[in-house]
Amino acid sequence: MERYGVGMGDLVLIATKGGAFEGILMPRYEFADEEHIVVKLKNGYNVGIRVEEVDSIKVLERHEIWRKERPEFERVTGLPKVKLIGTGGTIASRVDYRTGGVSPAMTAEDLYALVPELKELADLSVENLLNVYSENMTPSLWSRIATEAYNALKGGFSGVVIAHGTDTMHFTSAALSFAIENPTGPIILVGAQRSSDRPSSDAATNLIAAVRVAIHPEVRGVFLSMHYGLDDDLIALHRGIRVRKNHTSRRDAFESIDEEPAILVRGDRVLLRRTFPKGEMKLHAEFSDQAFLLKFFPGMEPEIVDYLVERGYEAIIIEGTGLGHVSSAMIPKLEEAVEKGVFVGMVSQCIWGSVRMTVYETGRELLRVGVVPLEGVTPETAFVKASWLLGQGLKGTDLAEAMKTDLRGEVLERRLSI
Which residues are part of the catalytic machinery? Answer: 90, 166-167, 245
At closest approach, how far in Å is the CB of 387 from its own copies? 8
Q: Which is nearer to its own copies, 153 or 241 (CB)?
A: 241
Residue 289 contacts its own copies per CB under 8 A: yes
The secondary structure element, H or E, covering residue 282 is strand 282-283
Q: Rule CB under 8 A: choose which of 18, 71, 298, 396 binds its own copies.
A: 298
For residue 312, the one-letter residue type is: G
Taking CB under 8 A as the binding criterion, the range among 12-20, 65-73, 102-110, 344-352 that sits at the site for its own copies is 344-352
β-strands 159-163, 269-272 pairing: unpaired
Rounded Cα–Cα distance for residues 108 and 238 (Å)? 25
Rg (CA), the chain: 24
* Closest to its own copies by CB, 397 or 417: 417
* 93 is an interface residue for its own copies by CB under 8 A: no
Q: Which of 6, 10, 30, 209 binds its own copies (CB under 8 A)?
A: 30
Task: Rank residues 119 and 356 by Cβ distance to its own copies and give the closer one.
Answer: 356
Nearest-CA neighbor of 106 among 88, 82, 81? 88
Query: Which C-beta is closer to its own copies: that of 134 or that of 205?
Result: 134
Note whether 418 binds its own copies by CB under 8 A: yes
Least distance in angstroms from the C-beta of 100 to its own copies: 11
**97 and 8 Cβ atoms separated by less than 8 Å:** no
- Report the run of H or E that residue 401 belongs to, with start and end: helix 396-404
2 binds its own copies (CB under 8 A): no
Single out the residue of 246, 242, 229, 237 nearest to residue 207, CA to CA.
237
Nearer to its own copies, 50 or 58 (CB): 50
> Residues 173 to 202: which contact its own copies by CB under 8 A?
193-197
Contact status, residue 128 vs residue 145, Cβ threshold 8 Å: no
Residues constituting the chain: 418
The nearest distance, CB 170 to its own copies, in angstroms, is 10
User: Total number of residues binding its own copies (CB under 8 A)?
Assistant: 80
State how far the Cα of 313 lies from the Cα of 17, in Å rounded to an integer: 59
Q: What is the secondary structure of 55-96 as a DSSP string?
A: EEEEEEE--GGGTSPPPPPPPPTTPPEEEEEE-SSTTSSEE-
| Positions 48 through 77 that interact with its own copies (CB under 8 A) | 48
Does position 166 interact with its own copies (CB under 8 A)? The reply is yes
Report in angstroms how near the CB of residue 294 gets to its own copies at its nearest: 8
Contacts with its own copies in 229-288 (CB under 8 A)?
245-250, 253
Whole-angstrom distance, CA of residue 12 vs CA of residue 34: 19
| Degrees, nearest 5: CA angle 265-277-353 | 70
Assess contact for 175 and 137: CB atoms under 8 A: no
**Interaction with its own copies in 304-333: which residues (CB under 8 A)?**
304, 307, 311, 319-329
CB of 134 to its own copies, least distance (A): 7
Contact, 97 vs 86, CB < 8 A? no
Q: Which of 354, 371, 381, 411 binds its own copies (CB under 8 A)?
A: 354
Give which of 111, 131, 114, 133 is closest to 122, Cα–Cα: 111
Q: In the set 264, 293, 337, 400, which binds its own copies (CB under 8 A)? A: 293
Q: Between residue 356 and residue 395, which ones bind its own copies under the rule CB under 8 A?
A: 356, 358-362, 364, 380, 383, 387
Angle (CA) 237-240-133 rounded to 5° is 100
Smallest gap, in angstroms, from Cβ of residue 308 to its own copies?
A: 9
Which residues lie closer than 8 Å to 4 by C-beta, 6 or more apart? 56, 57, 59
CB of 250 to its own copies, least distance (A): 7
Q: Which is nearer to its own copies, 86 or 324 (CB)?
A: 324
Closer by beta carbon to its own copies, 222 or else 265: 222
- Work out how close the CB of 383 gets to its own copies at its nearest, in angstroms, rounded to a whole number: 6
Task: Between 4 and 31, name the residue whose CB sits nearer to its own copies.
Answer: 31
Of residues 96 through 155, those in contact with its own copies by CB under 8 A are 133-139
**Pick from 413, 248, 407, 400: nearest CA to 337:** 400
